[in-house]
Amino acid sequence: MDKKLTAALVIIGNEILSGRTQDININWIATKMSDQGIRLLEVRVVPDIEDAIIQAVNELRCKVAYLFTTGGIGPTHDDITSASIAKAFGVDCPLNAEAREILLGYYKSESELTTARLRMAHVPVGATLIENPVSGAPGFQMDNVYVMAGVPRIMQGMLDNILPNLASGKPYLSNTVSCDLPESKIAETLGNIQNKFATVDIGSYPHFRSGTMGLALVLRSTDNDNLHEATRDVVDMVRSYGVEPTGISVRTDGHPIV
């Protein structure tokens, strides 16, 4: 694995850990990484506690090319991400003149720049800003750490501004073969197909729909040809048990699979 094409994510948010909020940021960011050929290696969800944020950030930023964080950069007392990132890097977190200008442009007048709002313009020394196309207050990049808002729409806007600056590899392509076979029945043959294709990750995911168990066999690779061939093998395997796949979803190019 090419370390230049790896990423990790720290979700900072009591609301996820308490069960109040169903997270959707992990899936959004994971999908964008796959499309850009970047492998998301780990996600951590940590509470709004300084030590927890510092530890997660410092452990993960050394392991991967890009570390993303979401949450905790607003104006309220529970927004402690910027100060925590500064501490993680051992730098101060003063008022940033450029960020202050952005807030002034957004709130229109000096009198609107309250102490609370100006908290959002405090940024670690050495960071560069990430534009927020939705609500003014910027995120920031500190070394390989990209600090974004937790509100999904704002995070998504910030990520759009970040992606063109990241390295990109061949996108991960994913084919799915669905069938009604129990996974324990196909496990051995599927393992043989996995062994045959080193560049393809094959996953087996049982699920319930309308009360009955189904199975999704997911093949994933950046290598179109091998992925195509492995998918044909999986379809042949399903048919060898005397059933037709209930669904085939293919993103690779090549001769027809069916």
Binding site for a second copy (CB under 8 A): 14-24, 26-34, 39-48, 52, 74-79, 114-117, 119-120, 135, 150-151, 153, 172, 174, 183-188, 190-191, 194-195, 201-208, 213, 218, 220
Nearer to a second copy, 91 or 174 (CB): 174
Shortest gap between Cβ of 205 and a second copy (angstroms)? 6
Shortest gap between Cβ of 97 and a second copy (angstroms)? 19
Nearer to a second copy, 31 or 165 (CB): 31
Nearer to a second copy, 91 or 189 (CB): 189
Instruction: Find, among 15, 36, 21, the residue nearest to 159 by Cα.
Output: 36
What pairing do the DSSP bridges indicate for beta strands 66-70 and 6-12? parallel
Residue type, 241: Y
Nearer to a second copy, 35 or 126 (CB): 35
Contact between residue 214 and residue 246 where contact means Cβ atoms under 8 Å apart: yes
Contact between residue 161 and residue 130 where contact means Cβ atoms under 8 Å apart: yes
Nearer to a second copy, 153 or 239 (CB): 153
Nearer to a second copy, 161 or 204 (CB): 204
Shortest gap between Cβ of 112 and a second copy (angstroms)? 9
Shortest gap between Cβ of 126 and a second copy (angstroms)? 25
Map 72-91 to HEC letters.
CCCCCCCCCHHHHHHHHHCC
Between CA 118 and CA 181 the distance in angstroms is 58
16: tokens are: 């996820």
Shortest gap between Cβ of 258 and a second copy (angstroms)? 21
Shortest gap between Cβ of 257 and a second copy (angstroms)? 18
Provide the strand spans (E) within 62-153: 66-70, 128-132, 136-142, 145-148
3-class secondary-structure state, position 125? coil
Between CA 113 and CA 173 the distance in angstroms is 47
- The H or E element spanning position 175 is strand 173-179
Contact between residue 57 and residue 181 where contact means Cβ atoms under 8 Å apart: no
Nearer to a second copy, 75 or 91 (CB): 75
Residue 75's φ and ψ, nearest 5 degrees, are: -95, 0
Shortest gap between Cβ of 120 and a second copy (angstroms)? 7
